[in-house]
Amino acid sequence: MSPGSSDLPGPGPDLRAALGAFHGVVRENVNLAPMTHVRIGGPARWLVEPRTVGDVAAVVRACRELDLPLQVLGGGSNVLIADAGLAGVVLRLGAFQGIVRDGERCTVGAGVTLPSLIRLTKDAGLAGLELLIGIPAEVGGAVAMNAGTREASTFDTLASATLVDAAGAVRTLTRAELQPRYRDGGLDGRIVVEATFALRRDEPGAIQARLEESLRRRNATQPVTMRSVGCVFRNPGPECAAGALIERAGCKLLRRGGISVSARHANYFVNEGEGTARDFLDLMCEVRARVKDLAGVELEPEVKILGF
How far is residue 303 from each of residues 53, 59, 107, 245, 287, measured CA to CA in Å?
27, 25, 27, 17, 14
| Secondary structure, 3-state, 221-260 | HCCCCCCCCCCCECCCECCECHHHHHHHCCCCCCEECCEE
Angle ∠(47,62,169) on CA atoms, nearest 5: 110
Q: Torsion-angle region of residue 298: left (phi > 0), alpha (psi -120 to 50) or beta? A: beta
The order of strands in the sheet holding 259-261 is 255-256, 259-261, 269-271
Can 49 be counted among the known catalytic residues?
no
Active-site choice (227, 231, 251, 278): 231
Catalytic residue check, 106? no
Question: Among the options 183, 190, 227, 278, which is catalytic?
Answer: 183
For residue 196, the cross-strand partners are 107, 160
Asked if 64 is an active-site residue, the reply is: no
Q: Around Cβ 93, how many Cβ atoms within 10 Å?
A: 29
Neighbours of 103 (CB within 10 A): 9
In angstroms, what CA-CA distances link 180 with 109, 144, 177, 253? 20, 9, 10, 34
The Cβ of residue 74 has, within 10 Å, a number of other Cβ atoms equal to 29
By C-alpha distance, which of 67, 63, 74, 84 is closest to 276? 84
Cβ neighbours of 12 (radius 10 Å): 14
Residue numbers annotated as active site: 183, 231, 302
